[in-house]
Structure 1
Amino acid sequence: MAWDEWEQLKASAAERHTTQMQLNQLPADQGGGTSTGEPKTGTAGGSGTLRHSGGPWTRAAGAADDLRISTESTKKNLQSGHAGVSKGAEGLASLEVLRTVLTSWEKRLEAVRGECESLEPKLRAVAKEMGERDGAIAAEVRAVGVPTGGRE
């Protein structure tokens, strides 16, 4: 392909496209903002709005709290299940192995409980912070005037 032919193809393509910047990647007549700054609903490829929900973060925090509670009750059940096992079994090698397993599981359950106890308030804080930040950003975006260029 000759250089001149390439330049002609580029010029032809440039004539067919507008130079208007489109942040949402929708053609100008299918989305974007209105003269009031409010988002319009797009018809091809999205709603034209960005939404955030704290729901997933709050649910994750609840799951962490539930897991914290269940690990504590599991640890108590494990301890009560091992209570009295040593009576009449002193001196057996399996008794020492059982104690080692009990101690190992107690440590693991305590670590999980501690991690969940630490994680739960952090997840709730993320949900709260993102919700507040989203509201502040939305107010700032609404405050920006967008010229319509004669379109409504």
Structure 2
Amino acid sequence: MAWDEWERLKAQAAGQHPARLRIDGLPEENGPADPPGGGGAGTLRHRSGPWTRAAGTAGDLRTGTTTARTDLRRSHEGTADGLTGLASLGALKSVLTSWDERLGRVRDECGSLEPKLRQVAVILGEVDAEVGNSAESVTVPGTRRGE
């Protein structure tokens, strides 16, 4: 886990024991114990996959709600003719309008969210490159570059 590695590096520099971060009891990537002499084998990485998949899901939801709205409207076509004069016709129209509006808001929100999620993947990828370059410029006493 990148956080553990960062904590170990900070603790080494300060001559202290590192703090341990565990999330939901998940096992640590570098094993349960620190290697002798400290230091970590992990690397800080970001993957755009989760953001890209989330954007794809938002796009799929947008398409699905558009289809659902069309199907809902189609299923109500001609219904008024067979229910003329019944009190339930007003309730049916009210339900149709309510669901049509809800589905429209979900469609619009997903349409707005999809490009934002894709942009996050791009931005985080750029930030990771900047952080990597900055980290490479740090000199750690007792080590040589490239080790």
| Structure-2-length-normalised TM-score | 0.72
- Aligned 1:26-65 pairs, distance under 5 A: 26=34, 29-32=37-40, 41=41, 47=42, 49-65=43-59
Partners of 1:60 and 1:67 lie apart in 2 by 10
Summarize deviations over 1:133-152 as a string: whole Å, max 9, x none: 101110111022222179x8
Match of 2:67 among 61, 73, 76: 73
How far did 1:91 drift?
Answer: 1.2
Which residue identity does 2:70 align to in structure 1?
K
- Aligned 1:4-43 pairs, distance under 5 A: 20-21=13-14, 25=18, 26=34, 29-32=37-40, 41=41
Q: What is the number of equivalent residue pairs in this alignment?
A: 120
Aligned to 2:82, the other structure's residue is in SS state coil
**Two-structure CA RMSD over aligned residues (Å):** 2.6
Residue 84 of structure 2: aligned partner:
90
Partners of 1:145 and 1:74 lie apart in 2 by 58
CA contact (8 A) 1:65 1:116 kept: yes
Q: Show structure 1 runs of 4+ deviating over 6 A.
A: none
List alignment gaps of at least 5 residues for structure 1: 1-17, 33-40, 42-46
Aligned to 1:118, the other structure's residue is in SS state helix
List alignment gaps of at least 5 residues for structure 2: 1-10, 19-33
Q: Residues 70 and 60 of structure 1: is their aligned pair in 2 closer, same or farther, counting only changes over 3 Å?
A: same
Match of 1:114 among 103, 108, 111: 108
How far did 1:30 drift?
Answer: 3.4
| Bigger mean CA deviation after superposition, 77-86 or 140-149 | 140-149
CA contact (8 A) 1:57 1:123 kept: yes
Q: Residues 99 and 19 of structure 1: is their aligned pair in 2 closer, same or farther, counting only changes over 3 Å?
A: closer
> What percentage of residue pairs aligned between the two structures are identical?
47
Summarize deviations over 1:11-50 as a string: whole Å, max 9, x none: xxxxxxx984269935772325xxxxxxxx2xxxxx2x22
Summarize deviations over 1:49-77 as a string: whole Å, max 9, x none: 22111111111111111000000000000
Aligned to 1:50, the other structure's residue is in SS state coil
CA contact (8 A) 1:22 1:28 kept: no
Structure number with greater CO (CA < 8 Å, separation at least 6) is 1
